[in-house]
Amino acid sequence: MSKAAVVHEFKGPLTIEERPVPAPSEGQVLVRMEASGLCHTDIHAAHGDWPVKPSLPLVPGHEGVGRIEAIGPGVHAKVAEGDRVAIPWLGYACGECRYCNDGRETLCEQQLNSGYAIDGCYAEHAVAFARHIVKVPDGVEPVVAAPLTCAGVTTYKAVKVSGARPSMLAAVFGVGGLGHMALQYARVAGCEVVAVDVHEDKLELAKQLGAVHTINATEQDPVAEIKRLGGADVAIATAVSPLAFEQAYGAMARGGTLVFVGLPADNFVKLPIFETVLGGITIRGSIVGTHRDLEEVFALHQHGHTRVVYETRRLDQVNEAFREVEEGTAGTARLVFEF
């Protein structure tokens, strides 16, 4: 038997259950989990917040890391029992559509997402499609690799598509599990970083991670302050409030690129057409990264370019951990369930 945290009712508490160890099907592997990060998306899934809701019962989790325990039939990927692997948000893509064929599998319309469309990693055992797991390199511990599997690769991809390069001013709105990684990738790209948040402890962390400027949006107007610096050439919006997205837009320099990353439950922002056209502003959506992006994220960490701030929890603390994240009492850290 294998322990799992299960959603049976939207907005209800998760239950810890003993379930049979799942058997890998065609193209799948069985992974004995070592760690699984808590992403806000897991809470949205458990609450049924988004327009497309998952089917219940559901095991959430898409920042999973563990070792392969068994390999199912028809697996052609170069994996072996004992390999440490990551199970990301992109649990399955068809491999045949125009998006998959030109390296944009994260846009595949047939995709299945871990911990949303298929059972995820809040469990002692999980099955995953072998084509979409990623090997974790030596020296990257499971509790660190877990947040990199989503928070890391999501913001890495966002910075990548923003066109960030040396000498640019990059603004990161929201210095949480996503934002604290985004500002590091912006620094790797050579940018001068300004971090915006409403919590002083998160802004202090941003300074430690290399932000040159910090703005507390409860005390200062981030639009005015960033404009005073010349405006953001790149802005990465990871916050859970639509207001932060609108502020990020208002802080842009002409010709700048704003990347939407966070997914607030309140789904809409109000942006002006006139200023967008005259200012040559680009607005992009960025949803996680590819298999290759995650390999690059792990390599950057392995070579000492990033730091993951985390705290561990037990799986039976899942409901308390959800409340910590929702109430903002988890502090600066990414919470990780350790098995």
Residue 119 within any structural domain of the chain: yes
Residue 142 within any structural domain of the chain: no
275 and 157 assigned to the same domain: yes
**Cα–Cα nearest to 71, from 28, 132, 32, 124:** 28
What lies within 8 Å, CB to CB, of 336 at 6+ separation is 35, 36, 37, 38, 63, 143, 146, 147, 310, 311, 312, 313
Strands (E), the chain: 2-6, 15-19, 28-37, 64-71, 84-87, 90-92, 112-113, 125-129, 134-135, 169-173, 192-197, 213-216, 232-237, 252-260, 282-285, 310-313, 334-338
What domain count does the chain have? 2
Residue 327 within any structural domain of the chain: yes
CB 145 within 8 A of CB 137: no
Q: 3-class DSSP state for residue 273?
A: helix
- Per-residue pLDDT, 19: 96
Residue 148: how many CB atoms within 10 A of its CB? 28
User: CATH number for the domain including 27?
Assistant: 3.90.180.10
- Per-residue pLDDT, 125: 98
163 and 244 assigned to the same domain: yes
CA separation for the pair 228, 223 (Å, rounded): 8
- Two tokens, residue 277: 């056209």
- Per-residue pLDDT, 329: 82
CB 112 within 8 A of CB 88: no
The residues with which 126 forms a beta bridge, in sequence order, are 31
98 and 170 assigned to the same domain: no
Residue 303 within any structural domain of the chain: no
Quote the crossing angle between the two packed helices 153-162 and 291-302, to the nearest 10°: 100
Residue 292 within any structural domain of the chain: no
The residues with which 129 forms a beta bridge, in sequence order, are 28
107 and 30 assigned to the same domain: yes
Residue 267 within any structural domain of the chain: yes
Residue 223 within any structural domain of the chain: yes
201 and 168 assigned to the same domain: yes
CA separation for the pair 203, 274 (Å, rounded): 33
87 and 48 assigned to the same domain: yes
CB 121 within 8 A of CB 128: no
Residue 115 within any structural domain of the chain: yes
Residue 286 DSSP symbol = -
User: CATH number for the domain including 158?
Assistant: 3.40.50.720
Domain that holds residue 121: 2-135+309-338
84 and 168 assigned to the same domain: no
Instruction: Give me the average pLDDT of each 10-residue run along the chain (339 residues).
Output: 97 97 96 97 94 95 98 92 97 96 94 97 98 96 97 97 97 94 98 96 95 98 98 95 96 98 87 97 95 96 96 97 89 88
Q: 3-class DSSP state for residue 33?
A: strand
- Per-residue pLDDT, 264: 81
232-237 and 169-173 strand pairing: parallel
Q: How far is CA 285 from the centre of its chain?
A: 14
84-87 and 64-71 strand pairing: antiparallel
Ramachandran area for residue 67 (φ above 0: left; ψ -120 to 50: alpha; else beta): beta
168 and 118 assigned to the same domain: no
**Cα–Cα nearest to 175, from 214, 144, 221:** 214
- Per-residue pLDDT, 90: 96
Largest CA distance in the chain: 61
268 and 172 assigned to the same domain: yes
265 and 240 assigned to the same domain: yes
- Per-residue pLDDT, 328: 79
- Two tokens, residue 262: 């966070």
Q: How far is CA 91 from the centre of its chain?
A: 14
- Per-residue pLDDT, 263: 84
